[in-house]
Amino acid sequence: MPVILAYSIQYFFMGIWFPLGVALFHASNSRFLHVAKLQKQYMQPELRSKSGCNGADSSWICRSRNMSYTKKIMLPIGFGIVLQILLTTGMWLACRKYHPSWGIPGTEIRGDNLMEQMIDLSQGWEWWPSVFWQVIWTWIVAPILLYRAWGIRDTMGWRFQTVGCCLSSLHATPMFMIACYVPAFQVINPYYPPSQWIHLSIMFFEIFTIIIPAIQVVQQRRMVKKSAKLNAKWETCSQTTTLRTSTSIEGKNSNISLAEKASSFDYLDEELGNRLLTMAALDYVLNENPEPLQEFSALSDFSGENIAFLTRVTRWKSTLTHAVTEENNLICYNRAMDIYVDFISMHDAEFPLNLPSQQLKQLEEIFETSTRTVLGEAVVNPATPFDFPSPSHGSRGQGDSKDHLLTETQYTGEIPAAFSPAVFDAAQAHIKYLVLTNTWPKFVAEMQSRRKSSETERTDISGDSQMTLASQVSSFFKRLL
C-alpha cells in the first residue's frame, strides 16, 4: 500500500500540478508577448490598437472581440486546466491500480513481484493526458511563441526563460515513452525510473522560472542601490567642485584641469560607466537625444511609457507662454489633460505610470472630472489596471481614438485652482528617478556591450545615434566640469 500511495501522489502530481504549471507559464509568456507588441506604439504610433466592433451588448461575437486580452488568454487555458483535472480524477477513480477494491474491471495492477508491479504502475493510458500536454507545449506551442518573439531582446530574461524551458523539455516525453516500452531500457529503469525523465525537465523548469528570476531580483535591487549611491556621490562631488571653483583664487585653473580630465569622456567607455549613472547624464540625453533611450525602454525594457512621459512633459513645458490669459490657460490645461489621459489615468492610459498613491490622487483631483466630461465614463478595476482591455467602439485607435476626441472636443469648463505649470513636477521627478535607477543603467550597459562585441555592427539603435550621443554627452560633461 505505501508503494501504491506513492504512485498515486506521483500520478496527481503529474496529472494536475505539472500541466497546471505549464499552462500558467504559457499564459504569462503570451501576456509578455502582448505587452511587447503594445510597447512598440511608443516608437511607431500607427501601431496603436484599432477600435473594436460596435454592438457589444447584442452580439456574442462582438463581446468576444471586445474582451480583454487577459480573458481571451485565460479562457481557453482555464478550460484546458478544468478538462485535465476532470480527466485525471476520473481516470484515477476508474483505475483499480490505485484502489484494488473498486474500479473498472481489467485495470488491476499486473505483475508477479514488486518490481513488475512498480513498472506497471508507471505505465498505462492514465498517464497519456499529462504527457500529451507536455508534448503539445514543448514541440508545438513554445516554438511558435519563440518564433513570434524572435526579434525581442528583453532585459528581464523572459525570452531566455522560455528558450531554456523549451530546450530542457524536448527530451522528456520521448525518453519517458522509450523507457516505458522499449525492453532494452529495463536494465536502466531500476536505477533511473521512466518518470525521472519528466522530473528532470521539471527541475530545469523550476530553475528557469524560479531560481533565475530570484537571482535577477537580487541583482536588480543591487543595481538600484548602486545607481542611487553613485548619483548621490556624484551630485555631492559636483556641488563641492562648484563651490571650490567659485570661491578659490585658483578656480579657473581647477576648472580647466577638470575639463582636461573629461576631454577623453566617451559615452560608451566602460571605464566611465559610473560617471554616466548620474541624473546629469540622464537629463542631458533626455533633452538632447532621447530617441535611442526611448527605443531601448520600449523594445527591451517594456517601460516605454516612462521615457515618453518625460519627453511629453518637457515639450509641454516648452510651449507654455508667459502671457496669462484665460484662453492660454485653457489651451495649457487641455494639453496637460492629454498627458494625463495618455500616461496617468487609471481609466484611459494603456500603461499607467507607477506613481505613488498620493501623487496619483492629486493629479486625479485636477484632471479626472474634466477628462470624464470630455471622454465620458469609463469602468476599470483599480486592482487590475493592466488588464489590457480590447478597444471598444470609440476607444483609442484610428478614427475614434482618445487622442482624436481630445483634439476635436476640447474642455471649455472651469480650470481647477490647483492647476499650474508645475502640476507634473512631482510625477516627473519620481519617474525620472525610476528611469535613473532601472532603465538607464541597463541602457548604458547594453550600449557598451554592443560596441564591445562589434564596433561596426549596425544594431536596432544605430551606431550613428550612439556616436552622436557620445560626442554630445562628452561635450556636456566638459562644460559641466
User: What's the maximum distance between 2 C-alpha atoms anywhere in the chain?
Assistant: 102
List Cβ neighbours of 375 (8 Å cut-off, separation of 6 or more).
Answer: 341, 348, 402, 405, 406
- What CA–CA distance (Å, rounded) separates 22 from 386? 23
Q: Does the pLDDT value for residue 479 go beyond 60? A: no
CA-wise closest residue to 348 among 358, 332, 337, 334: 337
Q: Which residue has the cell 483535472?
A: 85
Across 43-52, 165-174, 279-288, 325-334, the highest mean pLDDT is recorded for 165-174
Q: pLDDT tier at 153 (50, 70, 90 boundaries)?
A: confident
Residue 33 C-alpha cell reads as 508577448
Residue 282 C-alpha cell reads as 540622464
Decide which of 472 and 149 is more confident: 149
Residue 71 C-alpha cell reads as 480573458
Q: Which residue has the cell 489651451?
A: 331
Decide which of 469 and 292 is more confident: 292
pLDDT at 192: 87
12-16, 44-48, 278-282, 349-353: range with lowest mean pLDDT: 44-48
CB atoms within 10 A of CB 38: 20
CA-wise closest residue to 213 among 282, 143, 154: 154
117-121, 270-274, 388-392: range with lowest mean pLDDT: 388-392
**Model pTM score:** 0.76
Q: Which residue has the cell 523594445?
A: 299
Cα-Cα-Cα-Cα dihedral of 423, 426, 428, 432, to 10°?
Answer: 170
pLDDT at 196: 87
Centroid of chain to Cα 236 = 34
Enter the DSSP assignment of 50.
Answer: P
Residue pair 412/330 in contact by the 8 Å Cβ criterion: yes
Q: Does the pLDDT value for residue 459 go beyond 50? A: no
CA end-to-end span of the chain: 79
CA-wise closest residue to 50 among 401, 476, 440: 401
List Cβ neighbours of 286 (8 Å cut-off, separation of 6 or more).
Answer: 293, 307, 310, 311, 314, 432
Centroid of chain to Cα 40 = 13
Across 162-171, 370-379, 387-396, the highest mean pLDDT is recorded for 162-171
% of the chain residues with pLDDT over 90: 27
Q: Does the pLDDT value for residue 53 go beyond 70? A: no
% of the chain residues with pLDDT over 70: 72
Residue 392 C-alpha cell reads as 471598444
Number of H helices, E strands in the chain: 22, 0
CA-wise closest residue to 22 among 84, 75, 69, 114: 84
Distances (CA, A) of 338 to 77, 98, 178, 233, 309: 37, 64, 62, 37, 11
Decide which of 7 and 379 is more confident: 7
Mean pLDDT confidence for 71-95: 88
pLDDT at 264: 35
pLDDT at 307: 95
Q: Please state, rounded to an integer, the average pLDDT across all residues of the chain.
A: 78
CA-wise closest residue to 47 among 282, 269, 299, 242: 299
Q: What's the one-letter identity of residue 356? A: P
Q: Does the pLDDT value for residue 97 go beyond 90? A: no
pLDDT at 272: 55
- What CA–CA distance (Å, rounded) separates 384 from 347? 11
Mean pLDDT confidence for 436-452: 85
> pLDDT tens across 189-243, in order?
888 888 888 889 999 999 999 999 999 999 989 988 888 888 888 777 655 554 4
Specify the long-range contacts of residues 79-82, CB closer than 8 Å, at least 24 apart: 80/19, 80/23, 80/133, 81/19, 81/20, 81/23
pLDDT at 391: 46
Apex 124 CA angle, 123 and 129, nearest 5: 105
- What CA–CA distance (Å, rounded) separates 476 from 481? 9
